[in-house]
Structure 1
Amino acid sequence: MTQTIPTIDISPLRSPTSPDRARVVSDILTACTDIGFLSITGTGIAPDTVDKVRECCRTIFAIDEKSKWDQAITRDNYRGYIPMGFFTPNDGSGTADKYEGYKLHFETASDDPIVADCPLYGPNLWPREVPQARDIILGYWRQLDAVADLLIGALEDGLQLPPGTLVDGFTKPMTNMTLLHYPPQAPDEAGFGIHPHKDTDALTIIAPDPVGGLEVQTRDGGWITPDTPPGGFVVNIGDMLELWSGGRLVSTPHRVVNTSGKERYSFPYFAVPRHDVVVAPLCAPRDGFERPAVHCGHWSAEIWRTNWPDEEASADTPELGTLHS
């Protein structure tokens, strides 16, 4: 059977008494156990909100190179500009990915007590040259938080978990966003915009760029593109929800290849639980699914640390999304 990525209107999830809620929950669970990807409509997020974020991304990446480098990420603060070709896959193999980025984390005041508990929290490094960026992006972020809560709540229902079992883990979360710019690649050019990988978060939400380029791997090894209606979003399961569900929900490999001849801009939202959450199976694991429990703060710290080419994974490093041949 050929795998496809379904489109689901999630608006009934807003009403616990909606006669369509159970059907929508079932459809979401089916998509997440089959291919791990779905397109969603009915989010309540206006298209012009997405357009403003995309235009903000264009403006940020148009900043002069020196200023961008002055605001680059460091080992001590994984926030700010990610230069083009800066990172290779987490295992150190392969060609550098062909994108530049700007990393943003859950916005936390520097004097918030949680900063002392986990150094991955703190204020973001917002681009000085784009003063409107903070309000535009955080406004969009808050709307995506609400969509993520609906989806995670639906998965709680579908997996027959008590209410709040998953959702309660997303108070003061480690949710993050990456603003991305992919220059066009020549059709015969080696490498990827982003190499084939699985997301290490719980849930990813992304507004598709009209240029295209996102490809999802099917179980037979082929690659397909989400067919998302205008105003819709692509959602995919990450490794954390796969682990929480004992392997029932599927974290699926995907990649970006931009051979459109046009500049591509993207701004994925990665839902990640609070730093002290321990992710372990909450459902009976599927046959053959064996993975240890993972501490969310440690997992996140290892992801950032091992992005640096001279850092290596250690025996206690969780899986980091990179696919091994």
Structure 2
Amino acid sequence: MQSIPTIDISPLRDAEHPDRANVVKQIHEACTDIGFLSIVGTGVSQETVDDMRACVRAIFAVPEARKWDQAITRGNYRGFIPFGFFSPNDGSGTADKYEGYKLHQEVAATDPVVTDCALYGPNRWPAEVPEARDRVLAYWSQLDEVALLLLGALAEALDLPPRTFQDAFATPMTNMTLLHYPPQAPDEPGFGIHPHKDTDALTIIAPDPVGGLEVQTRDGGWITPDCPPGGFVVNIGDMLELWSGGRLVSTPHRVVNHSGKERYSFPYFAVPRHDVVVTPLLTPLPGFDRPSVHCGHWSAETWRTNWPDEVANEDTPELGTLHS
């Protein structure tokens, strides 16, 4: 049975730290084995996480009618995602049992990058939670720093030039989803979020104390990350798997909330700049054969195919697909 290690990443901040090389090695081993790890020593305080969780609770406590006024649209994939709105992108199965609030990279509406890619721009922020914008963006900024540390360590572990991954995240398409999962009855079919692989480069999440996140092992079993208080769960997404030629592993995971309690989470999805083309930087491992992916096109297709009446076509990347 595979396991998910907990790693103190604080030595990554000091190039001369005696434990730095060992930490890089541990991160590499976890990301090539199960593709998940728990991290501590991030510099993000528990108070910051607690404040963020309180903000997320407040956003979902907004009256239902006002949530719908702030709902996502085909032309603006930002704002409220109603409960049961989306099914898996391949159109199979029942709708996932969550409600969400989608946030994309925040830039001014007048920024030239908005013309190049509509997923940049100002977000919708609920007026009923006036602290939301500042609190979320401050948290987001701290996770940007954590992501860059991890990306640098992974480039080093793969013997790539030091800033290979980091340089792809100038004006990135990094995004966040705020999530609320009502409790599921023990015999209730379906999932909070169905089994899937993340289609980004790297995901960072402060796990909710009620639990519910499950990670698939190579033998088909499911395990729960044992993340200590103040820690974060990190997983490799399909883009880093592709960049590494299959060495870094994007692993299926799911959410099932049988806790009997409300579950709240706020994953951070690190995505490169819109014009980056992700292609293997190392000779692909035997059997690993994936096409290169244009980040802007991939992202647009990901959101487009979320709509129940939209389907993937020959131009839709296969990232995130669970292959049998």
The one-letter amino acid of 2:162's match is: P
The structural deviation recorded for 1:324 is 5.2
Q: How many residues align?
A: 324
The one-letter amino acid of 1:50's match is: V
Where does structure 1 lack aligned partners over 5 or more consecutive residues?
A: none
Q: Which residue of 1 aligns with 2:264?
A: 265
Give the SS at the match of 1:205.
strand
Q: Which residue of 2 aligns with 1:216?
A: 215
The one-letter amino acid of 1:130's match is: V
1:116-195 correspondence to structure 2 within 5 Å: 116-195=115-194
CA distance in 1, matches of 2:59, 2:209: 19
CA distance in 2, matches of 1:291, 1:172: 25
The structural deviation recorded for 1:284 is 1.2
1:188-203 correspondence to structure 2 within 5 Å: 188-203=187-202
1:248 aligns with 2:283: no
TM-score by structure 1 length? 0.99
Q: Which residue of 2 aligns with 1:308?
A: 307
1:206 aligns with 2:205: yes
1:318 aligns with 2:324: no
The one-letter amino acid of 2:76's match is: N
Q: 1:24 to 1:169 in 2, by over 3 A?
A: same
Give the SS at the match of 2:176.
strand
CA distance in 2, matches of 1:61, 1:320: 30
More off after superposition, 16-25 vs 5-14: 16-25
1:62-73 correspondence to structure 2 within 5 Å: 62-73=61-72
CA distance in 1, matches of 2:235, 2:302: 19
The one-letter amino acid of 1:234's match is: V
The structural deviation recorded for 1:319 is 1.5
CA distance in 2, matches of 1:23, 1:246: 23
Whether the 8 Å contact between 1:89 and 1:307 is mirrored in structure 2 is yes
- State the Cα RMSD in Å: 0.7
The one-letter amino acid of 1:243's match is: L
Whether the 8 Å contact between 1:196 and 1:322 is mirrored in structure 2 is no
The structural deviation recorded for 1:287 is 0.6
Whether the 8 Å contact between 1:90 and 1:320 is mirrored in structure 2 is no
Give the SS at the match of 1:260.
coil
Where does structure 2 lack aligned partners over 5 or more consecutive residues?
A: none
CA distance in 1, matches of 2:321, 2:286: 23
The structural deviation recorded for 1:322 is 4.0
4+ residue stretches of structure 1 with deviation over 2 A? Answer: 322-325
Whether the 8 Å contact between 2:105 and 2:119 is mirrored in structure 1 is no
